[in-house]
Amino acid sequence: MSPPQQPSSTNPNSLKIRLTHRFLHNLNNLNKKRSNLDNTQIHRRSHRVKLAAYASMARVVGSRRAWSRAILWKIRNRKVFTRNKRVDHKTTHHHHLARSIKRRTTNHSNHKREYVDPNGNSGQEVKLRKLVPGVETMDACGLLDETADYIKCLATQVEVMRNLVDLYSTI
Amino acid sequence: MSSRRSGSGASRITDDQIIDLVAKLQQLLPELRNRRSNKASASKVLQETCNYVRSLHKEVDDLSDRLSRLLSTIDDDSPQASIIRNEFTQTFPIIEFLRVY
């Protein structure tokens, strides 16, 4: 039985196809500036492809999700960062400080260092918040929901990349 | 499964939501998906989730590495290069190719 209620954004075929298009588009842009792939060092080339992958994911999902918004935000700020290194260094520190103060006051009200959910686990949740972009200050429900979506998209992106590697490996 | 408690049942509803979300997450994890017991503990699910996300990140790194090497070696005239260049006009072969994989 086909699942009719599945929204197109999470339908695996639609997501995979859209990710493929977007990722190929980004790779094409990389490819056009030949210097990006030929003359630069290997780890930089690889880093650019990796950025293209995360950018594709975030772009396809758009602003619908906290994790995609966080990635898009990081990409836009990265461009500013490379231009105004000194200024952004200060704002980054300020952001870190503001966020850590916020975290401290929140934990104070809970009388615990870490959030503990009804099942009594805390350590893993903190680790998860560091792994998934954009979920640092979310409640437990939001965190789980975002993580599920993030995993779906990430797994599909990996599939797309695997297909491309297979395609380009067969000569 | 409505709230069973009287008074403000807000926290109780959230517990149920969390249980559902944890179950939904469990279905996505390759390690726990095929378990006979349909419910693994929440801490186990979270732990597996962290491991899975980490492994996916690592795979993206590895595949980016391989892809960047391959892209720099393909000939401009090869069919592979034409796929990456003409991907908007030749969507049909790409989709067919994906279905095979």
User: Does A121 lie at the interface with B, CB-CB under 8 angstroms?
Assistant: yes
Q: Which residues of A43-74 are buried (b: 16+ CB within 10 A; e: fewer)?
A: eebbbbbbbbbbbbbbbbbeeebbbbbbbbeb
Report how far residue B79's alpha carbon sits from residue B57's, in angstroms, rounded to the nearest whole number.
30
Is residue A166 within 8 Å of residue B101, measured between CB atoms? yes
The interface predicted TM-score (ipTM) is: 0.74
Residue B98, chain A, CB below 8 Å: the answer is yes
With CB atoms and an 8 Å threshold, state whether B60 touches A53: yes
Report yes or no: A19 at the B interface, CB cutoff 8 Å: no
The distance of A24 to chain B (nearest Cα, Å) reads 6
Q: Which two tokens stand for residue A59?
A: 């772009």
Q: What are the pLDDT digits (tens) for A115-169?
A: 555 555 578 888 999 999 999 889 888 999 999 999 999 999 999 999 999 888 8
Domain boundaries, chain B: 3-100
CA end-to-end span of chain A, whole Å?
39
Cβ of A152 within 8 Å of Cβ of B57? The answer is no
Closest CA relative to residue B57, chosen from A11, A150, A136: A150
Task: Give the closest of A46, A121, A125 to B64, CB-based.
Answer: A46
Closest CA of chain A from B53, distance in Å: 7
Cβ <8 Å between B25 and A128? no
- Cβ pair A158:B59 closer than 8 A: yes
List pLDDT tens digits, range A6-65. 444 556 678 998 999 899 889 888 877 765 555 567 888 899 999 999 999 999 999 999
